[in-house]
Amino acid sequence: MKGKILASIVAMSAILGTSSLACTTILVGDKASNDGSMLVARSADSKAIKAQVFLIHPATKNQTGMHSSKAHDGANDFTYPLPKDGMRYTTIANSHTKLHGAVGYNEAGVGLSGSETIYAKDELLKVDPYNEESGITEDDIPDVLLPRMKSAKEGVKLLGEIVETKGAGEGFGVVFV
């Protein structure tokens, strides 16, 4: 009996004492919180020493051109037209590169968390494969959606249209608030 208890303690210490490299999102709806607040929390899958930075992206007017994942050291060749008039928005990005914001809010008060990697089963990817060459990836989601979306519903619709027309470059989970 003592052996099983000791083995359990050692196993739990090993599991809980290590740093897990997995993005995690926690959502608490307004009916589940004590005061009616909606809460969104997330952790990043990077080392504690890898600092993050809060960035403010100014509003844009009469903008032309394309958002290019490759131009921003992204995962592939995803491109998407820049919004003519983009809203001011914030992101939390890698402090060294100032790129690939994981979360953010825009001036309309709409936010998202868009960098939770999800892995699909191989048999499902045979039916509906990723477009790894030029589909949207989690690195691009905040910079493409936040300057445009005026509501969470609009963000869901836009991301769905992008995935339907250009494909998803990888599996990801996105939270809109």
Residue of 23, 110, 146, 174 marked catalytic: 23
Could you give the residue ranges of the DSSP H alpha helices within the chain? 2-16, 122-127, 141-145, 152-166
Give the separation between CA 176 and CA 172, rounded to whole angstroms: 13
Q: How many residues does the chain have?
A: 177
Q: Is 173 a catalytic residue?
A: no
Query: In 3-state terms, what secondary structure has residue 176?
Result: strand
Query: In 3-state terms, what secondary structure has residue 153?
Result: helix
Which residues are marked as active site?
A: 23
